[in-house]
Amino acid sequence: MKGERVLYPGYFDLALGRSEGRRVPKSAAVPDPKLADLERAAKKLGLSYRTEAKPHPAQWIKREGRLVVTWEESKEDLLKKMAKKMGRKR
């Protein structure tokens, strides 16, 4: 998985706190994000990605899936760009 970053919808969930798994600021988070929202954002950014039906280990009961993005820079930069493309309005 070198050069790949794994993203879960929970990273962008407005309803979650930082300690519960949200990775972006509340101002950039969206209500009830889905895997399809992450896919749309990745497409808008022109990123190469694939989806997997694997849940986040800490929230395995949700079974929301994950997005694996080809990305060489920092994960935090990717999260910021993805959040900006997802926006509050979907």
**Could you tell me the CATH number of the domain that includes residue 78?**
3.30.56.30
CB neighbours of residue 24 within 10 Å: 20
* Residues of the chain under the 50 pLDDT cut: 90
pTM listed for this prediction: 0.90
* Res 1: pLDDT: 64
Question: Could you read off the pLDDT of 20-35 as tens digits, one per residue?
Answer: 999 999 999 999 999 9
Contact of 45 with 37, CB cutoff 8 Å: no
User: What is the rounded CA–CA span in Å between residue 66 and residue 62?
Assistant: 11
Q: What whole-number percentage of the chain has pLDDT above 70?
A: 96
Domain range for 60: 4-86
Specify the number of domains making up the chain. Answer: 1
Residue 85 burial (10 A CB sphere; 0-12, 13-18, 19+):
middle
